[in-house]
């Protein structure tokens, strides 16, 4: 018997395991379907794409997307200690003040910006920034890039040439502007949620961590969660919790597990042969992400990251990395970027740019063409389209159906068209002229909006930030209340990005950690 069972050792689950076990009084079990994070491709920042389609990745894909040429879009999800924080690009972005204030205004009392800022600061150990917006002594290391590529600095200069302000802090008083991204790294290596929160806590006698444990369902009795059933090495086991079961599987796995446990839209569960415990129609709904389109241009100088993993350069740079933790291996690939409003009347940015000083073909999974290139990727950070996660079957080991309905709302495509035009202006600026060659993808600089729209639809991807499928709120479609308790079931919470009513503007790892920090206080006060 445990006090708390946490399902998922990802960005949120690692935080919870640390905080709930810190006093030594509560007995905590953390279950993770994946395995160890002690792998070079996890630890070396530039190698994150080499974790894709491996045993450290749930290896999901969407259903065919009608507004993206019926393509199935790849969606990596971390299946490893640290979850997605062990396979992501390490960008530390909190979102905009308006994101959290809108949560509070929608009925999520206690989740406004001023409410959540202390939790961001509690986690953070910022290397260079301090003051009212930043923490300096938390477990999550946030540092500057150690070996920023010259192309990334040039992109920031190009934005300045076009009148966009420079910022050294996307998480301070104002999000707008262009600059380099701060990263969750420790002196040139990844610093995941597992590094920051879990590994320092594993010596505690009241915390047990079990890997390769695939949770199949939550057990309930008398309207209350009592534990979970998980399988490990072909054997099913049941464990019980005296206080709470906490789901931290993320925006895909948490709603899937609720539905497999009989908690979700009753008609859908019946169709899949799942006995209904609680008709909760919002489970799996409200799925959304940040759609992105990587646009690529040839680089006329041999300065990109494109040869960083080729043998001659590896041999030249490996000592630099091993001894000094500097050089191209420390790159998170998406080194720089910016946030802007496409219309003056918007309350906050709706467009983000990710800049990579290299080809980024098919999520970095395909071998790039010969030569040097760079990628400018406009990213929609306030999407209107909404989709759903549903069960493919009652088999707990079957992948769910993931349908984000990308670009279903035409306003989303209009923002990305704006983003394409600005990307071309950045590339053809005076600052970029020494490096910018011919267009690669698309193979020419497009000017006709219809042609641009077709290209965007043909190359659109998701940027691995799914949220919203167990949304927090007080309306009939809310899955959890503002204390993250599942509505209608006692002793059960969801703590991960799935509880976001609407997506935060920017990369979602830091907000997910914040949610877990706040949740740990809510749980311990219960």
Mean pLDDT of 394-408: 98
- Residue 213 and residue 104 share a domain: yes
Q: Which residues contact 186 (CB under 8 A, 6 or more apart)?
A: 141, 143, 195
- Residue 337 and residue 254 share a domain: no
Res. 217: pLDDT tops 90: yes
As a dihedral over the C-alpha atoms of residue 515, residue 520, residue 521, residue 522, rounded to 10 degrees, the angle is 80
Asked if residue 236 is part of any domain, the answer here is yes
pLDDT of residue 361: 93
pLDDT of residue 312: 58
Mean pLDDT of 157-161: 98
Phi then psi dihedrals of residue 277, to 5 deg: -95, -40
Q: Is 114 exposed, middle or buried (0-12, 13-18, 19+ CB in 10 A)?
A: exposed
List the one residue out of 473, 446, 384, 476 whose CA is nearest residue 108: 473
Mean pLDDT of 358-381: 94
Q: Round the average pLDDT of the chain to a whole number and report it.
A: 97
Would strands 492-494 and 235-247 be described as parallel, antiparallel, or unpaired?
Answer: parallel
Asked if residue 396 is part of any domain, the answer here is no
Tokens found for residue 505: 């503007």
Got the DSSP string for 341-358? -SSTT-SS--EEEEEESS
- Residue 518 and residue 425 share a domain: no
Q: Which of 420, 439, 459 represents a domain boundary (last residue)?
A: 459
- Residue 133 and residue 153 share a domain: no
- Choice among 67, 406, 418, 465 that is catalytic: 465
Mean pLDDT of 148-156: 98
Res. 524: pLDDT tops 80: yes
Res. 404: pLDDT tops 80: yes
pLDDT of residue 319: 81
Res. 460: pLDDT tops 60: yes
Instruction: Tell me the residue range of the domain where 227 lies.
Output: 1-62+74-141+183-287+467-526
- Residue 483 and residue 450 share a domain: no
Mean pLDDT of 286-294: 98
Q: Per-residue confidence at 11, pLDDT binned at 50, 70, 90?
A: very high
Secondary structure element (H or E) that encloses residue 191, with its range: none
Q: Which residues contact 123 (CB under 8 A, 6 or more apart)?
A: 15, 135, 138, 139, 140, 196, 510, 513, 514, 517
Asked if residue 313 is part of any domain, the answer here is yes
The gap from C-alpha 194 to its chain's centroid, in whole angstroms, comes to 15
Asked if residue 387 is part of any domain, the answer here is no
Specify the number of domains making up the chain: 2
Q: Which residues contact 117 (CB under 8 A, 6 or more apart)?
A: 133
* pLDDT over 70 percentage in the chain: 98
Res. 313: pLDDT tops 90: no
- Residue 516 and residue 428 share a domain: no
CATH code for position 358: 3.30.410.40
Asked if residue 162 is part of any domain, the answer here is yes
Asked if residue 68 is part of any domain, the answer here is no
Each residue's pLDDT tens digit, 69-105 = 999 999 999 999 999 999 999 999 999 999 999 999 9
465 is an active site residue = yes
List the one residue out of 378, 375, 487, 365 whose CA is nearest residue 422: 378
Q: Which of 459, 475, 500 represents a domain boundary (last residue)?
A: 459
List the one residue out of 496, 494, 491, 487 whose CA is nearest residue 515: 496
pLDDT of residue 314: 60
pLDDT of residue 324: 86
Each residue's pLDDT tens digit, 188-210 = 999 999 999 999 999 999 999 99
Backbone CA torsion sign across 255, 261, 267, 270? positive
Q: Which residues contact 502 (CB under 8 A, 6 or more apart)?
A: 99, 102, 103, 106, 288, 467, 468
pLDDT of residue 188: 96
State how far the Cα of 436 lies from the Cα of 402, in Å rounded to an integer.
Answer: 38
Tokens found for residue 26: 């509560």
Asked if residue 447 is part of any domain, the answer here is yes
Q: Which of 459, 485, 518 represents a domain boundary (last residue)?
A: 459
List the one residue out of 331, 314, 318 whose CA is nearest residue 150: 331
Res. 315: pLDDT tops 70: no
List 190's β-bridge partners, or say none. 185
pLDDT of residue 323: 78
List the one residue out of 216, 259, 235, 247 whose CA is nearest residue 4: 247
Res. 311: pLDDT tops 60: no
- Residue 191 and residue 236 share a domain: yes
pLDDT of residue 320: 84
Q: Give the 3-state secondary structure of residue 404.
A: coil
Backbone CA torsion sign across 167, 179, 407, 496? negative
- Residue 278 and residue 159 share a domain: no
Q: Per-residue confidence at 308, pLDDT binned at 50, 70, 90?
A: low
- Residue 344 and residue 486 share a domain: no
Asked if residue 392 is part of any domain, the answer here is no
- Residue 160 and residue 131 share a domain: no
pTM exceeding the 0.95 threshold for the entire prediction: yes
List 461's β-bridge partners, or say none. 292
- Residue 329 and residue 340 share a domain: yes
The single residue listed with the structure tokens 């076009």 is 162
Mean pLDDT of 244-271: 98
Q: Per-residue confidence at 368, pLDDT binned at 50, 70, 90?
A: confident
Could you list the beta-strand ranges (E) of 89-159.
124-126, 140-142
- Residue 252 and residue 336 share a domain: no
Got the DSSP string for 224-276? EEEEEEEEETTEEEEEEEEEEEEE-SHHHHHHHHHHHTTEE-HHHHHHTTPPP
Length of the chain: 526
CATH code for position 82: 3.50.50.60
Mean pLDDT of 222-226: 97
Q: Which residues contact 68 (CB under 8 A, 6 or more apart)?
A: 406, 407, 457, 458, 460
Residue 485: DSSP 8-state: B
């Amino acid at each position: 018997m445990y006090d708390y069972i946490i399902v998922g050792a990802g960005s949120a689950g690692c935080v919870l395991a640390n905080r709930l076990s810190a006093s030594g009084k509560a007995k905590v079990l953390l279950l993770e379907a994946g395995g160890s994070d002690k792998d070079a491709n996890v630890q070396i920042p530039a190698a994150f794409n080499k974790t894709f389609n491996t045993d450290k990745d749930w290896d999901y894909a969407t259903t065919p997307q009608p507004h993206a040429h019926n393509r199935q879009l790849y969606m990596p999800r971390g299946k490893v200690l640290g979850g997605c924080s062990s396979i992501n690009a390490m960008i530390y972005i909190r979102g905009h003040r308006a994101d959290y204030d809108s949560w509070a205004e929608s009925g999520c009392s206690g989740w406004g910006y001023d409410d959540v800022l202390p939790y961001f600061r509690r986690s953070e150990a910022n290397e260079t920034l301090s003051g009212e917006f930043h923490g300096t002594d938390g477990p999550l290391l946030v540092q500057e890039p150690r070996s920023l590529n010259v192309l990334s600095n040039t992109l920031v200069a190009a934005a300045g040439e076009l009148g966009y302000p420079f910022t050294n802090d996307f998480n301070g008083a104002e999000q707008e502007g262009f600059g380099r991204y701060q990263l969750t790294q420790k002196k040139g290596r990844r610093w995941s949620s597992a590094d920051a929160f879990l590994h320092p806590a594993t010596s505690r006698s009241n915390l047990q961590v079990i890997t390769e444990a695939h949770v199949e369902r939550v057990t309930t009795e008398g309207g209350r969660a009592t534990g979970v059933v998980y399988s490990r090495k072909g054997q099913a086991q049941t464990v019980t919790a005296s206080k709470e079961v906490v789901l931290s599987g993320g925006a895909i796995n948490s709603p899937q597990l609720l539905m497999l446990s009989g908690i979700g839209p009753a008609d859908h569960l019946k169709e899949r042969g799942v006995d209904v415990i609680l008709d909760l129609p919002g489970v799996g709904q409200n799925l959304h992400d940040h759609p992105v389109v990587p646009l690529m241009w040839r680089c006329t100088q041999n300065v990109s990251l494109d040869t960083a993993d080729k043998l001659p350069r590896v041999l030249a740079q490996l000592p630099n990395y091993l001894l000094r933790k500097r050089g191209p291996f420390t790159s998170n690939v998406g080194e720089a970027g910016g946030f802007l409003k496409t219309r003056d009347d918007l309350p906050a940015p709706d467009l983000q740019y990710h800049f990579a000083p290299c080809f980024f073909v098919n999520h970095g999974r395909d071998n790039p063409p010969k030569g040097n290139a760079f990628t400018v990727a406009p990213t929609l950070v306030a999407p209107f389209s909404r989709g759903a996660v549903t069960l493919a079957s009652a088999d707990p080991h079957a992948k769910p159906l993931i349908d984000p309905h990308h670009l279903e709302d035409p306003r989303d495509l209009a923002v990305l068209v704006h983003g394409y035009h600005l990307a071309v202006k950045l590339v053809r600026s005076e600052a970029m002229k020494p490096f910018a060659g011919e267009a690669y993808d698309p193979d020419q600089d497009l000017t006709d909006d219809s042609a641009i729209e077709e290209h965007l639809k043909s190359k659109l991807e998701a940027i691995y930030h799914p949220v919203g499928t167990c949304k927090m709120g007080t309306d009939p479609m809310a899955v959890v209340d503002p204390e993250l308790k599942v509505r209608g079931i006692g002793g059960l919470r969801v703590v991960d990005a799935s509880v976001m009513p609407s997506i935060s503007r920017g990369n979602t790892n830091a907000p997910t950690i914040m949610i877990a920090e706040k949740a740990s206080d809510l749980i311990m006060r219960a």
